[in-house]
A and B are shown apart, each in its own frame.
Chain A
Amino acid sequence: MTRRQLLQRLPAGLGVASLSQLLRADSGLPGLPHHPPKAKRVIYLFQSGGPSQMETFDYKPRLVDFQGQDLPESVRQGQRLTTMSASQSSFPIVPSGYKFQQHGESGAWVSEMLPHTAKIADRLTFVKSLHTEQINHDPAVTFFQTGFQIAGRPSMGAWVVYGLGSETRDLPAFVVMISPGSGGGGQPLYDRLWGSGFLPTRYQGVKFRSVGDPVLYLSGPDGFPRENRRAFLDTLQEVNQLKLDETGDPEISTRIAQYEMAFRMQSSVPELVDLSKEPAHVLEMYGPDVHKPGTFAYNCLLARRLAERGVRFIQLYHRDWDHHGNLPKNFPKMCEQTDQPSAALISDLHQRGMLDDTLVIWGGEFGRTSYCQGRLTKDDYGRDHHPRCFTVWLAGGGIRPGLSYGATDDYCYNITENPVHVHDLQATILHCLGIDHKRLTYQFQGRHFRLTDVSGDVVQDILV
């Protein structure tokens, strides 16, 4: 919708102040973007629970030589472990049970469990040297999504929408979708991960759900069809307008506009989730799960559809990567659920020319230990949380494709080259969107808060 159309649709009598307020709410902060953006939007494929880097992208052939040996103290250097494995009497190294091969012109190493991702490896950039400060799920995922380990700060999507505003007036600017993992569950995901923290709540992510209404309270009550709703809204707006004329309170004109947006969402959301017009070859690309609402594949396709409709920040969570034990049994299932849809999303965006201005990120809140947690047997092992190194991949808007960045030691325990802190990754994501992470701030409790707290450097090396 153009500004003019918007003006025409706004009710008469709207004060100047309120109009500018309304427009500002949609167009972000003045002065943003800080620099020309490479990406207009983000699709974040968060892999909740912490996928093992050694089984996915960080090929560590020497672990085979170390198999069963204790992690040397010279490597561990007294580093903190979770109390789940800290009291283990030994820390036997366990190599990946999966084969690795190099792929594409870039020669990226990818596990045999991710064949679809392997095929698009040249479009991706693997950061193998990510590290975090948090070692338990709740603080680690909170840290990843809000830049701080304790609840209360705005999430990444909320910051982005606060800064850049929305490109759509029919859908929320920040959408969240969650898919259960192979075990049907996984680590809990709290509203705070897409919350607005101390920012106004209108910046919070809106969770699209797979059961019931896609958006809470979206559908009207039974027996109250859309024609009734239109008549309802016409009367509501008419009476609210009378009140506006009487009091001059600009909040009323905002409310009028919000009811119209709610009404539009009631058609735009069902249209969004109606996949009947998607061509068969596209559906096929995402794999058979795409037909099941609530799966990761289905959410990936919706992510593309949301991106097409101008949604700014699309946050997916796929759960259940927390393989403390039974890794050989559960890890393949997780790969199967995520591999094809993630790759399909990249290809799909590319085919539509959207990959250039869409930034896609795939990764979890931490990595996993190269030593075994719990019982190491011939055909079973598990891995504990490991914050000191793990891999994420990025693709699309602003990112140099076909790169493997950073490196870890032979034990996959410490970073040997180009460490990237979570705040660096956040700074880089914001940078691709045209935001200087140090300048997107909000004053609360006397302090100018920002997503990257007090650190963060843009990883220039991985940018176009």
Chain B
Amino acid sequence: MLRRTCLVVPLLALAAGAQTVSFNKDVRPILSDRCYACHGPDSAARKSKLRLDREEDSRLGIVPGSPEKSEVYQRITSTNKMKRMPPAYLGHQPLSQGETDILRRWIGQGAKYEPHWSLIPPRRPLTPPGEHPIDALVRAHLHREGLSLSPEAGRRTLIRRVSLDLTGLPPTPAEVDAFLADSSPGAYERVVDRLLASPRYAERMTIRWLDAARYADTNGYQSDGPRDMWRWRDWVLDAFNSNMPFDRFTIEQIAGDLLPNATLSQKIATGFHRNHSTSAEGGIVDEEFRVQYVADRTETTSTVWLGLTTGCARCHDHKYDPIRQKDFYQLFAFFNNVPERGFVYNFGNEEPYIKAPLPEQQAKLDDFDRRITAARQRVAQLEPQARAAQARWEKRVPKLTEEWTITDGLQLRAPQLESFDGSRIVDFDNQAAQFSFHDAYTFSAWIKPACGDCAILSRGEDYFEGQGHFLHLVNGKLRFHATYRWTDLAMRLETVQPVNLNEWQHVSVTYDGSMKASHVRVYINGVQQKLNILFDQPIWPLDTKEPFRIGAGGGKRFTGDIRDVRIYTRDLTEEEIGVITLLTDKARADRLRMWFLEVYAPQDVKQARAQLASLESERAKYLKTVPTVMVMAELDTRRKTYLLKRGAYDAPGEEVQPAVPAVLPQLKSDWPRNRLGLAQWIVSRENPLTARVTVNRYWQMLFGTGLVKTVEDFGSQGEWPVHPELLDWLAVEFMDSGWNVKHILKTIVMSATYRQSSSVSPALLQRDPENRLLARGPRMRLAAEMVRDQALFVSGLLVEKIGGPSVKPYQPPGLWQELFGGKGYEQDKGEGLWRRSLYTYWKRTVAPPNMINFDSPTREVCLVRETRTNTPLQALTLMNDIVYVEAARKLAERVFRSSPNDETRISNAFRLVLDRPPKPAESSAFNKALRQFQSYYASHPDDAQKYLKTGESPRDTTIGQPDLAAWAAVSSLLLNLDETVTKE
């Protein structure tokens, strides 16, 4: 409605052509919404030769200058239901009178087409000198509407507004007082600068970016297992904190790994595109989900940076915008080269991921490395001495009666010879070989098989596809199985060469716990074997109740002899396998050396070696505590990308190469055809979209609605910007400033437009209910996280600590178990309860309800549009959720201690929460309530005690319980006020 009333004309040329119909503003929305589905860009859906999205094709149905002669006009105005367009027989409504009028005038005026507005690069409109350009543009616009800017908001309102907007927290009473007292010029600007310099600014900016980036602490699909992406989240915090230019911010997140000599930080940044949901549901087709992940990246990139709904072109050409299905898959191709799988690990990060040590952890690792180097040098220094001693010792060896072998990590050894007849089984106790997929281990044995299909060792169910670990002979080849579920959670491999039947030979298998079948080594007689990997997905914990067995397992039995069965709880090296096999001179020499060093070496040699070993193991142990983060990486050989017919993973069409949509400016020839080139293109000056889309999102953040309301869609179906010149001015200013985020935010909040009072007259409300004309300041409910953070802040509970692993604050019990059973949510103790909501552990399938109730996105998919609803569940949350009840109690303590006088206390409470003293009517209403609560708790001390027990923070015991309870009730009232949860 609005866009029909505000014509867009160049500034300073106000009266010109008011009657001229604009294709972009007036006509395209009608054609797009009512005609393009069948007469638009989608070639497959086109119902006739007539195409109305391109000027040359439209002439089939349009005679410029003559609406009456144009079939299009005849059809839309036809009273014959069989002729009328859009077709009545398909249930479409006819065009409205207003819509046909516009089309008639447009055809009459020559039916000129224009490129879609958002595809034309933004140009900075001229603005009069001496006036804030935003205000000049808004004022000119309002002037045409017969409106003007509202007066500036009161100072208290203003500092509260800008503090919430830039830091997500309200100002303290002291900050308000300082601002009120500062009558010098630039007082407001100094506040803005202070806020932008605060680390809280980064926290505020980060949470919106997390919504866009679909960031979470869990995988998202089905059983929704955990992952660790907080190092990426902290990268975003750092980036906002240091005011990283938005172009760099973009390049590092999309392609940081491809930058020359990429730093750890630049690699962490690429976690952006690993934040999508992933699936570990049994039975899924790997490729189907892998394709989904790539599509998610493609769509998210389009939404976040380009404001294009490319997802529509995943299955067919876009119905409204000039994006062909091929364009989608060309864009898709940039993200289709990650070494990844569709079926993911459900208990932590999925490959590719990297260790991402914090600076202090890196320092510790460096220290380890220095000490390890020193220890190695010490061992090397002692080497000649050790050699000499060994030579002396070797002369004594023949006289030694002991039998030495490798015992480090030896869990079980069954040295005796066992003979098997195809039915006999040797069982062991339940302790041996209880390995899971992340444990390292070694199995070894001497065998003399009389069978080519049989079991050598096992710890698992007694059928072939059963759960457990199995060493078999299959067709004479050594076969190793580690199975959780045969069909999708297992590893299987076999040797290329068969063993020799009826001969003694040594067989062994080692595995390093890396969850990769390719890391398994198999040896026959100490010689590493070539392997065929039959299945490689050992990514689920394995735990079987079956005993460890020799000569049986997996439904098979052994015939022949087996001796010296060993299990080690580590993966022996090739050299060590040689030593336990002892078939070569080298192996025998190695054995002597190991034996000597372990038992007979001089004390200082032993000490030096022990020192080195202990440092290495300590470092390995420490390294396990270092967080990891999933990142982007590239395959060595590019994975081919095909257009997928109907979007189906298994219906490849023509092969496509990485490229950007044809309708947009293309990649420069010197940019690589990979994610890095794409990222450079996204933030290039020629790209008409990125800067507009980004500043529009900032506008939404501050004003509640974007200048283009459809922040995710700048295409034909998206909204025409209410202030196109303003949007362009901001976009160009943003780029000219070097993509300086703080600069553009400061520019906006310094404007008179932003600083207006948000009070609204009934007439203006009627005229402009959504405040799109900007004749008043924004008044809107706080975002979910601000509602909670503010309560923690004003009550003094907030623990301000930047970054780190996600925390688990209060949550109603049972929510996680209801989803999938298990241990459920383990609430934090202490400070984790009171951190900013940004750090709250985010489980996608059961997102924190007190966030969801306040319209937070679930983060299952990218969401950039902010919505605000007003529901009874919000009322229940604010009244009854522990976090708010506890905050009310702590606020009450602050208020109570602040003065002996009830009137003053009420006033102080208002100042703490709302940054203003109460008005007389409010004061008296609160006083009355206070007296009611006081009288209730005075006569019900038990209730007072119960009421004050909510929450884990200690209670101030110097305050009488009935008094404190009454004040807690009053404080809760204050936290529930509309004004409290609103930015005015």
Q: Note whether A and B form a binding pair.
A: yes
Most buried by A among B286, B715, B978, B982: B978
Given contacts A86-B487, A137-B281, contact A224 B855 (CB under 8 A): no
Listed stretches B218-226, B380-388, B605-613, B742-750; interface member: B218-226
**Is B965's CB within 8 Å of the partner chain A?**
yes
Cβ-defined contact, A178 with B818, below 8 A: yes
**Is B760's CB within 8 Å of the partner chain A?**
yes
- Report chain B residues within 8 Å CB of A291: none
Given contacts A83-B487, A136-B281, A443-B717, contact A251 B870 (CB under 8 A): yes
Which of B223, B821, B850, B949 contacts A184, CB < 8 Å? B821
**Is B663's CB within 8 Å of the partner chain A?**
no
**Is B860's CB within 8 Å of the partner chain A?**
yes
- Report chain B residues within 8 Å CB of A215: 873, 876
Cβ-defined contact, A223 with B943, below 8 A: yes
Listed stretches A120-128, A205-213, A351-359; interface member: A205-213
Which of B759, B813, B847, B973 contacts A248, CB < 8 Å? B759
- Report chain A residues within 8 Å CB of B284: 82-83, 136
Scoring B residues 706 to 749 as 1 if CB is less than 8 Å from chain A, else 0, what string do you get? 00001011011110000000000000000000000000000000
Question: How many A-B residue pairs lie within 8 Å, measured between CB atoms?
Answer: 261
**Is B320's CB within 8 Å of the partner chain A?**
yes
- Report chain B residues within 8 Å CB of A262: 872-873, 875-876, 879
Q: Residue on A with the closest CB to B764?
A: A248
**Is A231's CB within 8 Å of the partner chain B?**
yes
Given contacts A17-B765, A446-B309, contact A201 B860 (CB under 8 A): no
Which of B319, B781, B855 contacts A201, CB < 8 Å? B855
Q: Residue on A with the closest CB to B927?
A: A235
Separation of A408 and B978 alpha carbons in the complex (Å): 59
Cβ-defined contact, B283 with A135, below 8 A: yes
- Report chain A residues within 8 Å CB of B343: 83
Given contacts A82-B283, A83-B488, A201-B867, contact A192 B712 (CB under 8 A): no
Cβ-defined contact, B487 with A85, below 8 A: yes
Cβ-defined contact, B221 with A446, below 8 A: no
Separation of A258 and B874 alpha carbons in the complex (Å): 8
**Is B758's CB within 8 Å of the partner chain A?**
yes
Given contacts A223-B943, A255-B870, contact A446 B713 (CB under 8 A): yes
**Is A463's CB within 8 Å of the partner chain B?**
no
Separation of A150 and B277 alpha carbons in the complex (Å): 10
Scoring B residues 445 to 468 as 1 if CB is less than 8 Å from chain A, else 0, what string do you get? 000000000000000000101000
- Report chain B residues within 8 Å CB of A252: 978
- Report chain A residues within 8 Å CB of B781: 251
Q: Which of A218-275 contact B (CB under 8 A)?
A: 218-225, 227-229, 231-232, 234-236, 238-240, 242-244, 246-252, 254-256, 258-259, 261-262, 265-266
Scoring B residues 832 to 870 as 1 if CB is less than 8 Å from chain A, else 0, what string do you get? 000000000000111101101101001011000001011
**Is A15's CB within 8 Å of the partner chain B?**
yes
- Report chain A residues within 8 Å CB of B220: 151
Q: Which of B904-939 contact A (CB under 8 A)?
A: 919, 921-922, 925-926, 928-929, 932-933, 936
Most buried by B among A178, A228, A443: A228
**Is B20's CB within 8 Å of the partner chain A?**
no
Most buried by A among B488, B758, B933, B969: B969
**Is B634's CB within 8 Å of the partner chain A?**
no
- Report chain B residues within 8 Å CB of A222: 943, 946-947, 949-950
Given contacts A189-B819, A212-B814, A221-B880, contact A238 B925 (CB under 8 A): yes
- Report chain B residues within 8 Å CB of A255: 870, 875, 978
**Is A436's CB within 8 Å of the partner chain B?**
yes
Cβ-defined contact, B760 with A446, below 8 A: no
Separation of A243 and B914 alpha carbons in the complex (Å): 13
Cβ-defined contact, A138 with B279, below 8 A: yes
- Report chain A residues within 8 Å CB of B874: 258
Most buried by A among B220, B818, B922: B818
Cβ-defined contact, B876 with A265, below 8 A: yes
Interface size on B, residues (CB 8 A): 111
Cβ-defined contact, A242 with B91, below 8 A: no
Separation of A239 and B910 alpha carbons in the complex (Å): 12
Which of A86, A220, A261, A447 contacts B880, CB < 8 Å? A220
**Is A77's CB within 8 Å of the partner chain B?**
no
Cβ-defined contact, B846 with A447, below 8 A: no
Q: Residue on B with the closest CB to A86?
A: B487
Scoring A residues 185 to 196 as 1 if CB is less than 8 Å from chain B, else 0, what string do you get? 101111110010
**Is B538's CB within 8 Å of the partner chain A?**
no
- Report chain B residues within 8 Å CB of A138: 221-222, 279, 281
- Report chain A residues within 8 Å CB of B283: 82-85, 135-136, 384-385
**Is B942's CB within 8 Å of the partner chain A?**
yes
Cβ distance A52 to chain B, nearest Cβ, rounded Å: 16
- Report chain B residues within 8 Å CB of A436: 91
Most buried by A among B850, B869, B926, B950: B869
Cβ-defined contact, B91 with A446, below 8 A: no
Cβ-defined contact, B486 with A87, below 8 A: yes
Cβ distance B943 to chain A, nearest Cβ, rounded Å: 4
Given contacts A83-B283, A265-B872, contact A236 B813 (CB under 8 A): no
**Is A74's CB within 8 Å of the partner chain B?**
no
Cβ-defined contact, B869 with A200, below 8 A: yes
Given contacts A151-B277, A219-B880, contact A242 B919 (CB under 8 A): yes
Cβ-defined contact, B717 with A201, below 8 A: no
- Report chain A residues within 8 Å CB of B969: 224, 228, 232
- Report chain A residues within 8 Å CB of B712: 445
**Is B977's CB within 8 Å of the partner chain A?**
yes
- Report chain B residues within 8 Å CB of A206: 873
- Report chain A residues within 8 Å CB of B43: none
Interface residues of B (CB under 8 A from A): 91, 220-224, 277, 279, 281-286, 292, 303, 309, 311-312, 319-321, 343, 463, 465, 485-488, 710, 712-713, 715-718, 758-762, 765-766, 769, 779-781, 812-814, 818-821, 844-847, 849-850, 852-853, 855, 858, 860-861, 867, 869-877, 879-882, 885, 919, 921-922, 925-926, 928-929, 932-933, 936, 940, 942-950, 965, 969, 972-973, 976-979, 982, 984
- Identify the 7 closest CB pairs spanning chains A and B, nearest first: A446-B717, A223-B947, A223-B946, A82-B283, A262-B875, A190-B845, A223-B943
Residue contacts A-B, CB under 8 angstroms, 19 given: A83-B487, A84-B487, A84-B488, A87-B487, A88-B487, A188-B222, A209-B818, A216-B877, A223-B947, A224-B943, A236-B977, A246-B759, A248-B765, A252-B978, A255-B870, A262-B876, A447-B309, A447-B319, A447-B717
A223-B948, A231-B932, A252-B978 known; 8 new pairs, CB 8 Å cut-off, are A84-B283, A136-B279, A189-B819, A191-B846, A201-B852, A224-B969, A232-B969, A446-B309
Interface residues of A (CB under 8 A from B): 15, 17, 80, 82-88, 135-138, 150-152, 172, 178, 184-185, 187-192, 195, 200-202, 206, 209, 211-213, 215-225, 227-229, 231-232, 234-236, 238-240, 242-244, 246-252, 254-256, 258-259, 261-262, 265-266, 374-375, 384-385, 436, 438-439, 443, 445-447
